[in-house]
């Protein structure tokens, strides 16, 4: 009884329909209940009944025919001897390997490519295929991607959530139906789902303390609007904690929190130019700033260009530190917080595999980071 209670509803429906097929209640070639009919019979959502039918399809019990319905697989046969399984399951269509969907905002050489590399390596080792859809940070695209991957029949899903104040309804449906999925890079408040991300609080704290150790006391924090994005909120928390632990006053008037051109869905060159001008004016109006903590690499690039337009130099007049950076410079150009993207990607795949085997995974996993010192930080000029 306890095992039955703990099972997700889609699995209970799967077992009920499988038993009807095995017992002969549904004969080979006969139609089985539709998603809607299963919804009505078991009082569940459409996504739950859909998942149960997908399991029956993946195990070879039924064949789904678009526009017609689902039918008992005519290739099923009786066991050869007593004690063997009641139904011999055919190999899954195509390769029989698991399909894992990846929903990601975007990726490039500064962040995301190594994350996907880690997923692909782990998928290969675990005999899985990774199916990728980009959302560019647009929630409607994210909803569509989740729906389409479910229709494709993926066995699990990894989601890099779009930035926003609210998570989309499709993610909530995955939680309710207990569909195996994992969040990466950030987590969603109030949502009971496993997540894998960097230890952003500790990373930001150590990075800020590095600037303090160089002698910087007036540090600007520059970010995009974060709309409850946990990764950015945690970086802010770590930045503030570093001030408190060093007894340095947090100067919020030195912060910029409205740099919008770096978000994944903004490809507007005019918006980029506007942001550079905002940073130029901010630095001009606050000459005591000696260092900038940029929440991500693309913002660090904007700051660098703003400094050049002011005819100042990096790092002599202004130090710049950021999260993430392309690994194309040797030695590194920007001083940056390096996230362990490969391990994050590997852990995401491994967590999906565990969930598919009904094993428990941590609610929130955080990975350590490393501060890589480049050519954009130095002691402030007054300390030279």
Find the DSSP H helices in the chain: 2-6, 9-23, 35-42, 46-58, 113-125, 139-152, 169-176, 200-214, 230-246, 269-285, 297-309, 341-356
Q: Spell 179-202 as b/e; 16+ CB within 10 A means b.
A: bbbbbbbbbbeeeebbbbbbbbbe
Distance CA(260)–CA(266), nearest Å, equals 8
Provide the edge-to-edge strand list for the sheet that holds 319-323: 219-222, 291-294, 319-323, 335-338, 370-372
Give the residue range(s) of CATH 3.40.50.2300 domains in the chain: 98-197+341-367, 200-339+371-383
CA dihedral 379, 381, 383, 384 (to 10 degrees): 90
List where CATH 1.10.10.10 sits in the chain.
2-72
List of residues 6+ apart from 62 with CB closer than 8 A: 17, 21, 32, 53, 56, 70, 71, 72, 73
Give me the sign of the Cα torsion angle 311, 314, 316, 319: positive
Print pLDDT tens along the chain (384 aa). 344 445 788 888 999 998 898 888 998 888 999 988 999 999 888 888 888 888 888 777 888 776 678 888 866 544 333 333 333 333 344 445 899 999 999 998 899 999 999 999 999 999 999 999 999 988 899 999 999 999 898 999 999 998 765 678 889 889 888 899 999 998 888 788 899 999 999 999 999 999 999 999 999 999 998 777 899 999 999 999 999 999 999 999 999 999 988 776 556 788 899 999 999 999 999 999 999 999 999 999 999 999 999 999 999 999 999 999 998 776 789 999 999 999 999 999 999 999 998 898 999 999 999 999 999 999 998 654
| Residue 322 CB neighbours (<10 A) | 26
- Fold of the CATH domain 98-197+341-367: Rossmann fold (3.40.50)
DSSP-derived 3-state class of residue 277? helix
Burial of 317 (0-12, 13-18, 19+ CB in 10 A): middle
pLDDT (0 to 100) of residue 91: 38
Q: Peptide bond before 331: cis, by omega within 30 degrees of 0?
A: yes
Please say whether the beta carbons of 3 and 67 come within 8 A. no
Helix (H, G, I), strand (E, B) or coil at 69: strand
Residue for token pair 């689902």: 70
Q: Tell me the CATH class for 200-339+371-383.
A: alpha beta
Report the distance separating Cα 178 and Cα 200, nearest Å. Answer: 28
Long-range pairs for 49-53 at CB < 8 Å and ≥24 separation? 49/10, 49/13, 50/150, 51/10, 51/150, 51/177, 51/179, 52/10, 52/11, 52/13, 52/14, 52/17, 53/17
Assign a CATH topology to domain 2-72: Arc Repressor Mutant, subunit A (1.10.10)
3-state class (DSSP) for residue 186 = coil
Those residues with Cβ within 8 angstroms of residue 6's Cβ, 6 or more apart along the chain or in another chain = none
Confidence (pLDDT) at 88? 35
- The two three-digit tokens of residue 86, written as one number: 């009641």
96 φψ region: left (φ > 0), alpha (ψ -120 to 50), beta (else) = left
Asked whether 351 and 314 are in contact (CB, 8 A), the reply is no
Residue with tokens 């080792």, as numbered in its chain: 125
């Amino acid at each position: 009884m306890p095992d039955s209670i703990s099972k997700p509803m889609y699995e209970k429906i799967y077992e009920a329909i499988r038993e009807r097929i095995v017992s002969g209640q549904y004969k080979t070639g006969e139609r089985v209940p539709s998603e809607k009919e299963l919804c009505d019979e078991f009082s569940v959502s459409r996504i739950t009944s859909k998942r149960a039918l997908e399991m029956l399809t993946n195990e070879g019990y039924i064949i789904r025919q678009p526009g017609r319905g689902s039918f008992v697989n005519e290739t099923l046969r009786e066991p050869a001897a007593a004690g063997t399984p009641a139904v011999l399951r055919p190999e899954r269509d195509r390769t029989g390997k698991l399909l894992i969907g990846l929903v990601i905002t975007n990726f490039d050489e500064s962040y995301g490519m190594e994350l996907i590399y880690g997923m692909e390596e782990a998928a290969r080792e675990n005999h899985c295929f990774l199916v990728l859809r980009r959302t560019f940070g647009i929630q409607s695209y994210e909803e569509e991607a989740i729906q389409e991957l479910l229709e494709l029949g993926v066995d699990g899903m990894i989601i890099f959530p779009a930035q926003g104040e609210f998570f989309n309804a499709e993610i909530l449906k995955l939680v309710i139906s207990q569909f195996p999925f994992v969040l990466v890079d950030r987590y969603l408040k109030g949502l009971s789902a496993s997540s894998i991300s960097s230890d952003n609080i500790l990373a930001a704290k150590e990075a800020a303390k590095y600037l303090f150790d160089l002698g910087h006391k007036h540090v600007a924090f520059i970010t995009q609007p974060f709309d409850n994005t946990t990764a950015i909120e945690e970086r802010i928390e770590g930045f503030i904690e570093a001030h408190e632990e060093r007894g340095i006053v947090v100067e919020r008037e030195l912060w910029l929190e409205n740099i919008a051109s770096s978000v994944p869905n903004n490809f507007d060159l005019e918006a980029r130019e506007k942001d550079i001008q905002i940073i130029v004016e901010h630095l001009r109006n606050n000459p005591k700033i000696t260092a900038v903590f940029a929440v991500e690499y693309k913002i660090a690039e904007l700051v660098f260009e703003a400094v050049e337009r002011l005819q100042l130099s990096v790092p002599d007049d202004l130090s710049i530190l950021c999260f993430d950076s392309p690994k194309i410079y040797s030695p590194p150009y920007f001083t940056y917080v390096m996230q362990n993207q490969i391990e994050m990607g590997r852990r995401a795949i491994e967590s999906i595999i565990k969930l598919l085997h009904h094993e428990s995974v941590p609610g929130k996993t955080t990975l350590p980071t490393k501060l890589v010192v480049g050519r954009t930080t130095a002691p402030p000029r007054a300390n030279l």
